[in-house]
């Protein structure tokens, strides 16, 4: 049981040809019926419904990969404080560094040893 680190992402790294495209490891819901897809495109409207288990709007069961990390202290500062931006940037850097470290420590356990984590 991994209880010492934060959540791993459920999305794969962005496609090199389209940096905004991400894909999940498995479909949770579908949109259908597929018979209406050509009519939907011509009307420029979505005709159909989301469905999952037994064609109901129930998501299909998928594993959730999660680890929990140490808390990161965040000081309370008013927005007009001169060091506000500096503190925000420092906390953001600590969060990103902690996420990267957790991902690197546990990615092999979840079968993602060859997937880099990209934080933008």
Confidence band, pLDDT 50/70/90 cuts, at residue 11: very low
Q: What is the pLDDT of residues 13-28, one digit of tens each?
A: 444 444 433 444 467 7
* Of 120 and 72, the one with more pLDDT: 72
Q: Which domain does 44 fall in, by range?
A: 29-62
pLDDT value, residue 49: 82
Same domain, yes or no: 70 and 118: yes
56 lies in some domain? yes
Least Cα distance to 98 among 65, 76, 63, 74 occurs for 74
Same domain, yes or no: 94 and 110: yes
The stretch 74-91 carries a mean pLDDT of 95
Same domain, yes or no: 41 and 56: yes
Same domain, yes or no: 50 and 99: no
The stretch 30-52 carries a mean pLDDT of 84
Same domain, yes or no: 81 and 49: no
Q: Are 72 and 41 in contact (CB under 8 A)?
A: no
Same domain, yes or no: 80 and 42: no
Count of domains for the chain: 2
Q: Are 9 and 65 in contact (CB under 8 A)?
A: no
> How does DSSP classify residue 22?
-
């Amino acid at each position: 049981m991994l209880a010492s680190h934060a959540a791993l992402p459920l999305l794969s790294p962005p496609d090199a040809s389209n940096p905004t495209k991400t894909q999940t490891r498995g479909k949770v819901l579908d949109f259908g019926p597929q018979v209406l897809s050509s009519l939907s495109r011509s009307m420029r409207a979505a005709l159909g419904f989301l469905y999952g288990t037994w064609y109901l709007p129930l998501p299909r069961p998928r594993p959730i990969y999660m680890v929990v990390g140490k808390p990161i202290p965040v000081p309370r500062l008013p927005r007009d404080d001169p060091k506000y931006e500096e503190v925000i940037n420092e906390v953001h850097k600590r969060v990103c560094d902690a996420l990267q470290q957790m991902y690197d420590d546990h990615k092999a356990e979840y079968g993602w040893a060859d997937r880099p984590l990209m934080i933008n």
